[in-house]
Structure 1
Amino acid sequence: MSADFPSQADTVVIGAGAVGCSVAYHLSELGAEDVVVVDQGPLPVTGGSSVHAPGIMFQTSPSKIQTKAAYYTSRLLSDAGVYDEVGGIELARSEERMDFLRRRVEWAESYGLPDPQLLSPEEVTEHFPLVDEDEILGGYYSPTDGRVDGISALQWYIAKSDGADFYGNVEVTDLDVAGDSIGAVETDRGTIDCDRCVIATNNWGYQTAQMADLDLPIAPVEHQYVVTEALEELSGVDSNVGSNTEGLQVPGNGDIQEYMSEGPHRPVGRDQDNSLYFRTHGDSLGLGSYNHEALSVDPDVMGKNSEESQASVHSFTSEHWEKATHPDREKSPKQAFDELLPATKDVEYEATENGIFVFTPDGMPAIGPTHVDGLWSALAIWWTHSGGYGKIIAEWMENGVPRLPSGPVDTGGVHVRRFSPHAGEKNYFVDKGATRYRQVYSIVEPRWQPDKHRGLRRSPFYDRQQDLGAEFYQSGGWESAQWYDSNADLVEEYEAQIPDQDGWQSINRSKIEAAEHLHTRDAVSMFDMTSFSSIMVEGADAGDFLQRVCSNDVDIDVGDVRYSLLLNEGGGILADVTVVRLGAEEYMVTTGGGNSPGIHGGWLEDHAPETVSVTVEEGAKSTIGLWGPKSRLLLQRCTDADVSNDDFPYFSAKQIYVGEVPVIALRVSYVGELGWELWAPTEYGNRLWETLYEAGQDLDVRPMGGGALESMRLEKGYRLWGTDIDTDSNPYEAGLGFAVDLDTDFIGKEALEAAKAEGVDAEITPITLDDSTDILLSGRPVLVDGEAQGYVQAADFGYTIGESIAYTYLPTEYTEAGTDVQVRCEGELYDATVRNEPLFDPGREKIIR
């Protein structure tokens, strides 16, 4: 630590908690120098959530990146000597929870956690005798789970960060942003000029980002924790309470930090059926609860340390401990703990708190480069994942590639720019954060949809879709039809080709999705693509710019369409896009919906020179996918343009009129059938739908939803960014080498040349189930000779080919067609076979006709 306060630094990290210290440490490990870390509290006990947290680390998650980040964190802190690897047990008090714990085992197996186990009640009490085994049905045991000593870990980070200086008791008062770039961090001790800045203030993340005029959706919420008096059942266990924080400056009442610094000697535990968790603190028990109504904190009034309290700790509210206030839980926290851990009944509490931590609207972290050049986000991260995300962010900042030692990671689900424009409205994200708090330990169904904040973004077709009985799913605020009740009559027509689905896989599904799939193969359907985005790239240097950022050769003629990829410096796939040349200096780049406009559009904006205009037209165009063997006949009825194969070939574009509606028509299809994407200004959207729908009645034109789209694209082997491809895969691994032209110069080329020369270790491949029609679920392990070699990326039933399909990445020695594999899903073991792709229409006869 330096005594002189700096006036300049290459990088300023705001926040010296678990995440800020991790980022600084990992930047130092990568050779970065001149890093300054500041915090408003004293060091290392800053008053943030890192020092009031009990440090419990359960590593298993349905999210690969969360699991990988957690495992890296546990290994790093274990090597540092600040991690107690006592194991973790998640308990089941219901059959539904036992099913959930089986999923935990499968996720752990898929993502590489060692030796995940299901335990009987008797085996649980062998690990943790205080549990009443009559109250439980079993448990999930992860032997490398445990607890981090927060204060010791922060001290270790600070001592080991050779390239960084740390300053406590420094209040950041403003962020200087000029020309959309960070220039300086203003503090109450002076201004620090800088090239880069990392916001790692977590509970204060919203406030800090506001200083740069960014509306980051970071919602603080309280949850409860108590530490019991010494228990007779734990007598004989050594305790250092009273000396753990000796010599440290501790804001407010130091009881919480004193007890949090006392390590466990038994596995950490969770009773998710009652939203509870627990661990030993020497001869005491620590009891944590999410089992109360959401106690949201106004992100604008997150406080500071005082003589009486720490900034992120509020007074304990006994009513939320003693009464049942959680909307989904029947028992109060105290009642549930008394039943599960009888030793806690009628004991006194030595320390209590309502500790504050944060949620984003989707419950995932918010990391990466923001809209302000040089300003990075490292927010909504728990101790569990802090080491991993510190490594990922540091690699991203230094080398342009988010990665862990195990390899590149997929960042689409955690990227700070994934949020839709409305997500920054405070009432919205605070309420969504409260919902995520409510769901922390809930069993959330596949394809679950929220009840609140619906109808925010609607295509011009919305009213017509409602009339047709659309079942709307929400993504990025858009209401997108998953299927249409008006197509229920098709189910009977195609009944023989639609197998029943049971159990967890069947939830929130409809046979109508299958019928729409099959009808599209036979006739013609209209798919609402309005949530997809067009990005206009214009200017004298537009072509050269796109050539620099696209992996394929996009030096194309006006009217041509080219599929390409955007890559990072490591060759990871940032996006797959369609590039359309509309004029000499005008291009349209199309990408998906959801988080694509913010991430993909933002990346193009960031890299464009001043001579090129990039406009992300999120919602500016309404788009219909017109697909099926009768699509040409229908479209020709509605336009004077020649849409024959000779005049309008596959992967070409025309600006035409459909009725009176001006349309950019692309001869492309995401379902493997003849078809077009019809892009029109939003104000014309309703007329576009009306024109096509009315003209196609005798052709039996039907609306088609997202469920049919997913099964059709898997039959054809078309990739979906964020599901099959992301920054954790390169084009050769993803089977997209055809979208790479190494004769051109583009970002990521050097990495791809090296990858091609070395050869890939794993490739994406389709597998089909041998003797089952069940639909598999993502994240489930794919086994060869009993060992997990990959996991399910995406899966559905292929209604045209009559087989259950899954896509997975496998080591290349197992990707030959005919190789036998198995998939473990929902406790069952399925035999499957590796197949060549595409499974449907390999000769492309359906598309090119």
Structure 2
Amino acid sequence: MSTDALPSSAETVIIGAGAVGCSVAYHLTELGAEDVVVLDKGPLPVTGGSSTHAPGIMFQTSPSKIQTKTAHYTTRLLKDAGVYNETGGIELARSEERMDFLRRRVEWATAYGLPEPELLEPEEVTERLPLVDAEEILGGYYSPTDGQVAGTDALQWYIETTPASFHGHTEVTDLELEDDAVRAVETDRGRIECDRCVLATNNWAYQTGQLADVELPIAPVEHQYVVTEPLEELRGNERADDAVTGLEIPGDREITESMAQPPDRPVGRDQDNSLYFRTHGEGYGLGSYNHEPLVVDPDEMGSNSAESQASVHSFTEKHWRKATHPNREKSPKQAFDELLPATADAEFDATENGIFVYTPDGMPVLGETAQVDGLWTGLAIWWTHSGGYGKILAEWMETGVPRLPSGPVDTSGIDVNRFEPHAGNKQYFMDRGGMRYQQVYSIVEPRWQPADRRGLRTSPFYHRQQELGAEFYQSGGWEVPQWYESNADLVSEYEDRIPDQDGWQGSNRSPIEGAEHLHTREKVSMYDMTTFSSIMVEGSDAGDFLQRVCSNDMDLSIGQVRYTTMLNEGGTVLADLTVARLDDDEYMVTTGGGNSPGIHGSWLEEHAPETVSVTVEESAKSTIGLWGPNARLLLQRTTEADLSNDAFPYFSGKRIYVGDVPVIALRLSYVGELGWELWAPTEYGQKLWDTLWEAGQDLGVRPMGAGAVESMRLEKGFRLWGADVDTDVNPYEAGLPFAVDLDTDFVGKEALVEARDDGIDQRVACLTLDDSTDAMLGGRPVYADGEAVGYVQAGDYGYSVGESIAYTYLPEEYAAAGTSVRIECEGRSYDATVRDEPLFDPGRDKIIR
């Protein structure tokens, strides 16, 4: 409901009354939250943000599970509210490459539960979209529950039905902090004390983050949209003449009125030309991403006035008539003239360069910031996903478990704390935002890598790796070798065991990855683990603290190492960790690379008592994984420490010297071979590499890239957080019961025990293809008894076992070894069989020796 009087205090203040802010308020109050206040500097409901200038088209299918799931939830929510036009959506193909892409759309939609996805022939497209020229297309992808949201109506529905107080014309001027926690929101109409604050400011996200000294890497970018004059071919279409009657509208009223007109047929996309379209009564709305990135300095977003909406810039004719997109040959006008000839000579009744926002990785920003307690974010979200992310964020805030009605969700790709340190640089995220804009409708290959802004983070081994011909992939800003050209000679040695990976599945792969895999199994290799992070946990209560946040028994002896999961309040896996006790009050916790340090490290920092010190040592240590049958012999040449199995058993650790280099050595192996992780201060890194390299030349030491590690860890059944284990499963579902000790007390235990007692109805399953060596790709549906029952979480070819491997989660009745299933990938059907895991060395004879 909307009110005039501004309160002096509230439990929750939400800044931004657009699609996301309203959704968060609705879902918070639905969960029982009281005293929720929503502020916006614009009028209500037409705030002047992208929620009312956006055409509201909602295509649900994405290669991302969470994007697809949140989109589908949003369409169901808004349909039930009566503000969603379920016209269906058709994505067109004007090239063979795009038809292949549309087949992937069907596979993703099936994998993630969208109803009745379908490929269409050209004449089937024009039956639904009669103004499309059938001669211009090869086919289409149809999702019957796609459609369009009436933005203004939806915001009005939220405001009228949500038991929160909404206040327009209220500008937030500052965020008051005390002891790194939110205490109040300052506005031009007064101060509101609060326990927590949600930033739902999208286009103004960078500015509002700055009020709390939080760098939010969110770039505003323009894109074009026009609405034609009435077309003869659309005469008689319904027009909602009173859709915005009586509403205060900043700027060009025609834009808001045009966006309020409902479509009368499926919404469409011509992704080959970065275009989309829908009807507006008797006119056609034409949207274009087909121009050079027009990135707006976030500090210059400005505010609304009676003459303009700050998130709508003047239409730039040149970007409509000229081909300025670096990857598109045709201008938007030329492409639309060909596809929709009826629009070719039409005048425009409304035009805009509307502003949306992009992050460096193209994903939303959700969660509580690590820097400020009580400061939550719901940003970089479009109408398409707004209902779903509002639900996830509200659950996260109220229950500690981000979830949709279908269950817990994986937040690793959307967490506000996932960004690397350099991402807050404005020029960096503006450039990356522009790049993501270019890619909105592009076909992006598996393992695609950006060409610009590289070399930001390099390990001390970087120059040695360059000399060895490393093919670098970027991960969290780090340059990570995927394979080494210096190992190309190994390909001929193992060529009979390295099948070709052709087509889409083979994109950006090399047979060298297979050769490195097989060489490591036979001799010894060095793997750069510097992207992995150590987190030092110290203090008299360090052991008790780790026991509280870890699901396994943390009563460790000095020198003992243990694998564990860390759970949220709902009993699902927030992280998988390795904990080593180095001294009485000193523990080293290790976690993966990428976004793990920011997410997991900040969680530990937030939950640690004052008597415990938590130090996230991202980049403070350089690490080498030394793995293979010759690992002990090589390492023993460099150290006086006793490395025998009796003196240095598996899952133990100690401080040793490798040559002159002080090292924390952990007897661990992520590839299923004898070996150690060697953690040294970064300044000693190059010397550590050189010492091991020189000592191992006659033992066949080679460098190994991440490609080989991935296939080796899948053979061994080792999990990778964010791929085949994450916050949407619990340890029992993930096949990690050994990482749980119910004789201890830990966060999430009660929920985990309840889930176990209720019965685990899905669990991880290892599949191998029956008669193919093709590598499977993530997000592809797995069928049993003619129905989709799961999807590929991770896949690769296992060079040691000679089989293609895919990991998935299956309902209990299909998860037993020997069950026959089928995988759809790239338009092909593959027979597969559930197998006992691990496939490689199930007795651990190679690791423990």
TM-score by length of 2: 0.99
Q: Distance in 1 between matches of 2:244 and 2:310?
A: 18
Residue 350 of structure 2 aligns with which residue?
A: 351
Amino acid at match of 1:8: S
Q: Distance in 2 between matches of 1:238 and 1:680?
A: 70
Q: Distance in 1 between matches of 2:305 and 2:345?
A: 32
Q: Distance in 1 between matches of 2:404 and 2:522?
A: 47
Q: Distance in 2 between matches of 1:755 and 1:85?
A: 36
3-state SS of paired residue (2:615): strand
Amino acid at match of 1:253: D
Q: Distance in 2 between matches of 1:821 and 1:342?
A: 47
- Give, in angstroms, the shift of residue 252 of structure 1: 1.4
Residue 34 of structure 2 aligns with which residue?
A: 33
Q: Distance in 1 between matches of 2:52 and 2:737?
A: 48
Residue 336 of structure 1 aligns with which residue?
A: 335
1:111-122 equivalence runs, <5 A: 111-122=112-123
- Give, in angstroms, the shift of residue 308 of structure 1: 1.2
Q: CA RMSD in A?
A: 0.5
Note the residue ranges of structure 2 that are not aligned, 5 or more in a row: none
Residue 7 of structure 2 aligns with which residue?
A: 6
1:263-662 equivalence runs, <5 A: 263-371=262-370, 372-662=372-662
**Residues 1:838 and 2:838 are matched in the alignment:** yes
Residue 775 of structure 2 aligns with which residue?
A: 775
Residue 156 of structure 1 aligns with which residue?
A: 157
- Give, in angstroms, the shift of residue 159 of structure 1: 1.1
Residue 248 of structure 1 aligns with which residue?
A: 247
Amino acid at match of 1:411: T
- Give, in angstroms, the shift of residue 655 of structure 1: 0.3
- Give, in angstroms, the shift of residue 583 of structure 1: 0.6
Residue 131 of structure 1 aligns with which residue?
A: 132
3-state SS of paired residue (1:54): coil
TM-superposition CA deviations, 1:610-638 (whole Å, max 9, x none): 11100000000000000001000001010
**Residues 1:49 and 2:56 are matched in the alignment:** no
Q: Distance in 1 between matches of 2:239 and 2:409?
A: 41
Residue 677 of structure 1 aligns with which residue?
A: 677
Give yes or no for contact 2:240–2:262 (8 Å, CA) kept in 1: no
TM-superposition CA deviations, 1:705-741 (whole Å, max 9, x none): 0000000000000000000011100000000011000
- Give, in angstroms, the shift of residue 177 of structure 1: 1.3
TM-superposition CA deviations, 1:649-699 (whole Å, max 9, x none): 000001000000000000000000000000000000000000000000000
Residue 797 of structure 2 aligns with which residue?
A: 797
Q: Distance in 1 between matches of 2:469 and 2:59?
A: 42
Residue 97 of structure 1 aligns with which residue?
A: 98
TM-superposition CA deviations, 1:259-281 (whole Å, max 9, x none): 10010010000000000000001
Q: Distance in 1 between matches of 2:646 and 2:28?
A: 57
Give yes or no for contact 2:250–2:309 (8 Å, CA) kept in 1: yes
Q: Distance in 2 between matches of 1:113 and 1:238?
A: 29
- Give, in angstroms, the shift of residue 286 of structure 1: 0.3
- Give, in angstroms, the shift of residue 3 of structure 1: 2.4
TM-score by length of 1: 0.99
Q: Distance in 1 between matches of 2:285 and 2:265?
A: 12
TM-superposition CA deviations, 1:167-189 (whole Å, max 9, x none): 00000000111111111110000
Amino acid at match of 1:482: Q
- Give, in angstroms, the shift of residue 239 of structure 1: 1.6
Amino acid at match of 2:103: R
Give yes or no for contact 2:769–2:805 (8 Å, CA) kept in 1: yes
Q: Distance in 1 between matches of 2:724 and 2:532?
A: 18
3-state SS of paired residue (1:335): helix
Q: Distance in 2 between matches of 1:335 and 1:97?
A: 19
Q: Distance in 2 between matches of 1:239 and 1:498?
A: 62
- Give, in angstroms, the shift of residue 2 of structure 1: 2.4
Sequence identity percentage:
75
Residue 814 of structure 1 aligns with which residue?
A: 814
Amino acid at match of 1:285: Y
3-state SS of paired residue (2:90): strand
- Give, in angstroms, the shift of residue 758 of structure 1: 1.2
Amino acid at match of 1:26: H
3-state SS of paired residue (1:452): coil
Q: Distance in 2 between matches of 1:361 and 1:595?
A: 13
Amino acid at match of 1:65: I
Q: Distance in 2 between matches of 1:519 and 1:177?
A: 56
3-state SS of paired residue (2:754): helix
Amino acid at match of 2:57: I
Q: Distance in 2 between matches of 1:800 and 1:681?
A: 34
- Give, in angstroms, the shift of residue 240 of structure 1: 2.7
Note the residue ranges of structure 1 that are not aligned, 5 or more in a row: none
- Give, in angstroms, the shift of residue 108 of structure 1: 0.1
1:682-831 equivalence runs, <5 A: 682-831=682-831
- Give, in angstroms, the shift of residue 40 of structure 1: 0.5
- Give, in angstroms, the shift of residue 238 of structure 1: 2.2
Give yes or no for contact 2:631–2:674 (8 Å, CA) kept in 1: yes
TM-superposition CA deviations, 1:227-286 (whole Å, max 9, x none): 000000011212234x32111000011111101001001000000000000000111100
Q: Distance in 1 between matches of 2:378 and 2:756?
A: 33
1:207-218 equivalence runs, <5 A: 207-218=207-218
4+ runs of 1 displaced by more than 2 Å? none
3-state SS of paired residue (2:599): helix
Q: Distance in 2 between matches of 1:538 and 1:501?
A: 47
Amino acid at match of 2:50: S
Q: Distance in 1 between matches of 2:250 and 2:702?
A: 65
- Give, in angstroms, the shift of residue 755 of structure 1: 1.1
**Residues 1:73 and 2:74 are matched in the alignment:** yes
- Give, in angstroms, the shift of residue 324 of structure 1: 0.5
Q: Distance in 1 between matches of 2:492 and 2:554?
A: 46
Instruction: Report how many aligned residue pairs link the two structures.
Output: 847
- Give, in angstroms, the shift of residue 301 of structure 1: 1.0
Q: Distance in 2 between matches of 1:554 and 1:461?
A: 34
Q: Distance in 2 between matches of 1:644 and 1:502?
A: 44
TM-superposition CA deviations, 1:418-437 (whole Å, max 9, x none): 00000000000000000000
3-state SS of paired residue (1:247): coil
TM-superposition CA deviations, 1:775-822 (whole Å, max 9, x none): 011000000022100000000000000000000000000011110000
